[in-house]
A = this chain, B = another copy of it.
C-alpha cells in the first residue's frame, strides 16, 4: 500500500471567524435540506428553572439570550397543549448529599455548584412566568444533560406516537444540545426554535446551533413552530 503517514498533513479547515459568523453563514445556506416536521410533535422544555432563568436571583448561573425566551416557550407550550400535543418539562435537582450527581459533584462545592441545586430548592423551581399544567404535562426531574437520560421521556413519546421533538430551554451548549442529539438518536425529527434557547456566552450558543443545524436538527424561528401547531388537525 502506497498510503503512508508521511503523505498526510492536517486538512482541518482554518478560519478566524467567530462562532456567530460561522452560524450566520450556515443558517443562511439556501441549499441545506431540512429534516422537516413529521406528523405529531411534542414540546420538550429543558430546565427552564430559576437557577438558569433568573439572573436577578442567581447571577452566576442564570443567563438571558433572547429577552422573550420564556414568553415564547410558554406560548408554544400553551398552543401545543390546546391541540392535545404532549408538553414536557424537565428540571435539574439532586439529593441532599448529591449522591446522584455523579462526576459532577466532584470538582467544586459552592452554592453555585451544579450538585447544589437541591430537590425542592428555589434553584430547582420552574420559572414563575411559565404556565405548567401539571395535570396534563409530563414533568421530570433529571440529573444529567439530556432530557432523555434516565427519564421516561422516550417511552412517553413513543406511547403517544410522537415523531417530532421541539427542544427549548438551556443551555444551548449543554442540556439543549444533549437532548437534541438524543432525540435524533432515538428516531425523532428534531426542531430547535432559536428564540427559545439560551446560553451565557455567544460563542457557545452559536457554535452549538451550528452543530445542531448541520447534523442533528432544524434550527428555525419560533414562528415556524407556531405555524405548524396552528395547522395541526390532530391524530389522523
Residues on A close to B: CB < 8 A? Answer: 1, 3, 5, 7-19, 22, 33-36, 54-56, 62-68, 70-71, 86, 95-97, 99-100, 102-104, 106-108, 128-129, 135-136, 138, 143-146, 149-152, 154-156, 158-161, 163, 173-174, 177-178, 181-182, 184-190, 198-205, 207-208, 210-211, 215-216, 236
Q: Are A12 and B202 in contact (CB under 8 A)?
A: yes
Provided the pairs A136-B99, A190-B103, A203-B19 are in contact, do residues A152 and B161 lie with their beta carbons within 8 angstroms? no
Besides A158-B188, A207-B210, 18 more A-B contacts (Cβ < 8 Å) are A1-B128, A3-B54, A3-B56, A3-B128, A18-B19, A19-B207, A22-B203, A33-B107, A97-B136, A100-B156, A102-B187, A103-B187, A144-B185, A150-B151, A156-B187, A158-B187, A178-B185, A208-B211
Q: Are B5 and A71 in contact (CB under 8 A)?
A: yes
Q: Are A181 and B145 in contact (CB under 8 A)?
A: yes
Which are the 6 A-B pairs with shortest beta-carbon distances? Answer: A207-B207, A159-B187, A144-B185, A158-B187, A150-B152, A33-B107
